[in-house]
A and B are shown apart, each in its own frame.
Chain A
Amino acid sequence: YVFTAGNPKWKRNNLTYRILNYTPKMRKADVDEAIRKALSVWSNVTPLTFQRVEDKEADIMISFAYRDHRDNSPFDGPNGQLAHAFQPGEGIGGDVHIDEEEAWTKDGRGYNLFIVVAHELGHSLGLSHSSDPGALMYPAYSYTDPNEFLLPQDDIDGIQAIYGKSNAAVQPTGPITPEACDPNLTFDSITTLRGEIFFFKGRYMLRKHPARTETELNFISLFWPTLPSGIQAAYENIEKDEILLFKEDKYWVVRGYDIAPGYPKPIYRLGFPKTVKRVNAAYSDETTGKTYFFVADRYWRYDEKKKSMDHGYPRKIVSDFGKIGRVDAAFWKDGYVYFFHGTTQFKFDPRAKQIVGQMESISWFNC
């Protein structure tokens, strides 16, 4: 996080805001709600309070503006600059200006008003842009489902450094942006996809292309906005050029690079008993056409051609794969299976039916 130069801050904790006008692209009530929720992002983690006022000057004046709106920072039409705000102070200080020409929405289409206003309010309160790609104060727009939004730890640390901690009995904490070379990095799930490897963690995915040395970090929502964060299991069906992604008792299919229509579907369609509530990990063996699902200390085997579970399952993981413990994530590549348990990775040879290597979880990232 970065403070605005000169460390400007409000001298009071009880601030006021006013909404000067509205965009015709959203219902008034939805604009009010987006701004109210954006303010609560900051009031939830500090002693700050925001009271709405009408017909008089407020600390934070929020308005939709068009091109040159007499503040020496003209907007540039659709896309590009979405909004801007001014650091704490009298007059224009603290004010938020939103580019009227953007496609404002309350969901993943166009630009989500809640996310953008929450970011601008960080400036209104004295924060500058953060270089943490997962931070709300990162300058580039990225969509997160408002219902899943949690203020990242980087932003919490920044705003509390200015205004102090929250008055709540339990201090709020937020997600931390994964770093590829963090030796403590663990994964929710892993899959291959057209020669690349995708490591899922929270709302992020680390993407490793065999021809590139660096690892790319992206939000899952950047490519698949309708997918939830926290994908628990994933595998590639190379023959059908699709990947299946699991969370709780549902699964999605990504065909090529797009989510197939009609998903999510219940995992029970695959033949799991109702006692199974979630899948921990999965991999598919391209040479046998068999897919392995790992749940707690057991596993199921699915025949991709017959489209049904094989008989005689579940079986105990330890009896067929050895001492790999609970499986967080797994993927199959070039005839070997890679099992991930915490920060440990096991290389398993399914032909010899034995573990042939043990590495760190981050061994794929050229650290």
Chain B
Amino acid sequence: VSSTFPVAPETEDEGKTPQLVESYLQNFYDLQRGSHPHLRSHGENRLVAKLKEMQSFFGLQVTGKPDADTLEMMKKPRCGVPDIGQ
């Protein structure tokens, strides 16, 4: 059973996921642009830390991974003001 109806989501375009995740976290969760988010600092890479922050804010399961529920939330139309920071 599709957990999101009435229209089943379009087929996932795997190629776009990383770009979607990174730009969402840059726009709304203060992920520094161009700061090599995948490099480790303080034991966890910044992108995973920011992703967890976003999942926690939206009450999603905090996995640190761009799972289906997280991507669904990122695709929702929304306000342009960041959720954290200025």
Which residues of chain A have a CB within 8 Å of any CB of chain B?
5, 73, 75, 79-85, 99, 102, 111, 116, 119-120, 123, 128-129, 131, 133, 139-141, 194-196, 209, 212, 214, 216, 223, 257-258
Contact = CB atoms under 8 A, between A and B. Distances in A.
Contacts, number: 69
A120 B79 contact: yes
B6 A82 contact: no
Given A85-B81, A99-B80, 10 more contacts: A5-B85, A73-B80, A82-B77, A82-B80, A83-B80, A84-B79, A120-B81, A139-B79, A141-B79, A209-B1
| Consensus secondary structure, chain B interface | loop
A268 to B, nearest CB: 29
Nearest to A216: B3
A223 B5 contact: yes
Contacts of A195: 1
B84 to A, nearest CB: 8
Nearest to B2: A257
Interface residues of B, number: 20
Contact of A84 (B1, B6, B80, B85): B80
A202 to B, nearest CB: 18
A139 B83 contact: yes
Contacts of B81: 84-85, 120, 123, 128-129, 139
Interface of B: 1, 3, 5-6, 27-28, 57-59, 61, 73, 76-81, 83, 85-86
A133 B73 contact: no
| Consensus secondary structure, chain A interface | loop
A111 B78 CA distance: 10
B3 A140 contact: no
Which of A84, A139, A194: most chain B CB closer than 10 A? A139
Contacts of B27: 81
B75 to A, nearest CB: 8
A257 B59 CA distance: 26
A136 B35 CA distance: 33
A284 B59 CA distance: 35
B46 to A, nearest CB: 20
A194 B5 CA distance: 12
